[in-house]
């Protein structure tokens, strides 16, 4: 497995440059990465591409159409390749920005799957940042070497322009990463608040249910007292006290009423009714 180091290395008069290319895929809404290995010698340029991006054929067509740029030597071809790689970053930045806007909408829309999408997009942004970040330092080294070896001043200006664009992309990627971290934190806070609201609602429902159980239990006890008294006096045994008493029936009714009222007052005072 190749180490993930992207930059330039000199082998005598040959310069070896590794560029990390990227392109945004609309349908899956993901970023696809590739590599371009460029060997630059005194009178040759060899490229080895791993992945779909960038389209080196278009770079070749551009150089063939621009004879003035081609006359500036192999370094001009390297500039054209690096310029194309950096230009291909622009659709990636636009695609990532659109994805972040969608995630922001989903966060406040209560989408349950937004956390997973945010995490996956964060990983893509981190990978994109790793691909872009070394490029500005690489270009700075090339510009310094160009000044040292007297490379065409116009080509040096082109390289500085590419460097400026690379720095802008690096800053955007860093901003995306920070923004996604903030979105993830906000989403976690909203999920926590939602869970608290659900727990609160369950607690209130449980309290309301307990109140209903208390009321049912209270009324059941109140109705049980006269039922118990009526059941005892309804046994009709011959040797029961007060069975043949003149005031037995009114006494039983009064006892039922007294027991029911007493229980009602007790439950009412305790808040059961």
pLDDT at 5: 41
The span from the CA of 76 to the CA of 152, in Å, is 9
Phi-psi region of 12 (alpha: psi -120 to 50; beta: other; left: phi over 0): left
Hey, what are 219's tokens? 């009324």
The span from the CA of 179 to the CA of 100, in Å, is 8
Hey, what are 60's tokens? 């070749």
Hey, what are 185's tokens? 């934190």
pTM attached to this predicted model: 0.66
pLDDT at 89: 92
80 contacts: CB under 8 Å, gap ≥ 6: 59, 62, 63, 69
Question: Residue 47's beta-bridge partner residues?
Answer: 38
Hey, what are 9's tokens? 């290395």
Which residue ranges form the domains of the chain, and what is each CATH number? 8-199 (1.20.58.340), 208-269 (no CATH)
pLDDT at 221: 74
Query: One digit per residue, pLDDT tens: the chain, 273 residues?
Result: 333 445 556 666 788 888 888 989 888 888 888 888 988 888 888 888 887 767 777 877 887 787 777 788 888 888 888 998 999 999 999 999 999 888 888 877 766 667 788 888 889 999 999 889 888 888 888 888 766 656 678 888 888 999 999 999 999 999 999 988 888 888 777 776 677 777 777 777 777 777 777 777 777 777 777 776 777 666 665 656 666 666 667 777 787 788 778 877 777 777 766
Which of 257, 212, 203, 263 minimizes the C-alpha distance to 230? Answer: 257
């Amino acid at each position: 497995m190749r180490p993930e180091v992207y930059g330039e290395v000199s082998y005598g008069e040959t310069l070896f440059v590794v560029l990390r290319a990227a392109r945004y895929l609309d349908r899956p809404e993901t970023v696809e990465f590739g590599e371009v290995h460029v060997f630059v010698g005194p009178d040759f340029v060899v490229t080895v591409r791993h992945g779909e991006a960038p389209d080196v054929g278009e770079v070749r067509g551009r150089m063939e159409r621009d004879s003035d740029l081609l006359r500036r030597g192999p370094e001009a071809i390297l500039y054209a390749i690096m310029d194309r790689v950096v230009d291909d970053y622009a659709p990636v930045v636009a695609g990532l920005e659109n994805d972040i806007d969608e995630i922001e909408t989903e966060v406040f829309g209560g989408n349950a799957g937004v956390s997973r999408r945010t995490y996956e997009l964060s990983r893509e942004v981190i990978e994109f940042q790793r691909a872009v970040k070394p490029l500005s330092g690489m270009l700075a080294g090339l510009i310094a070497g160009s000044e040292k070896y007297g490379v065409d001043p116009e080509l040096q200006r082109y390289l500085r322009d590419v460097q400026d664009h690379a720095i802008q992309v690096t800053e955007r990627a860093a901003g995306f990463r920070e923004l996604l971290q903030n979105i993830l934190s906000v989403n976690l806070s909203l999920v926590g608040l939602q869970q608290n609201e659900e727990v609160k609602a369950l607690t209130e429902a449980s309290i309301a249910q307990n109140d209903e159980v208390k009321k049912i239990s209270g009324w059941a006890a109140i109705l049980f007292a006269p039922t118990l008294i009526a059941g005892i006096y309804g046994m009709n045994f011959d040797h029961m006290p007060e069975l043949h008493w003149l005031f037995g029936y009114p006494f039983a009714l009064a006892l039922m009423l007294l027991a029911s009222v007493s229980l009602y007052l007790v439950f009412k005072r305790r808040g059961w009714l």
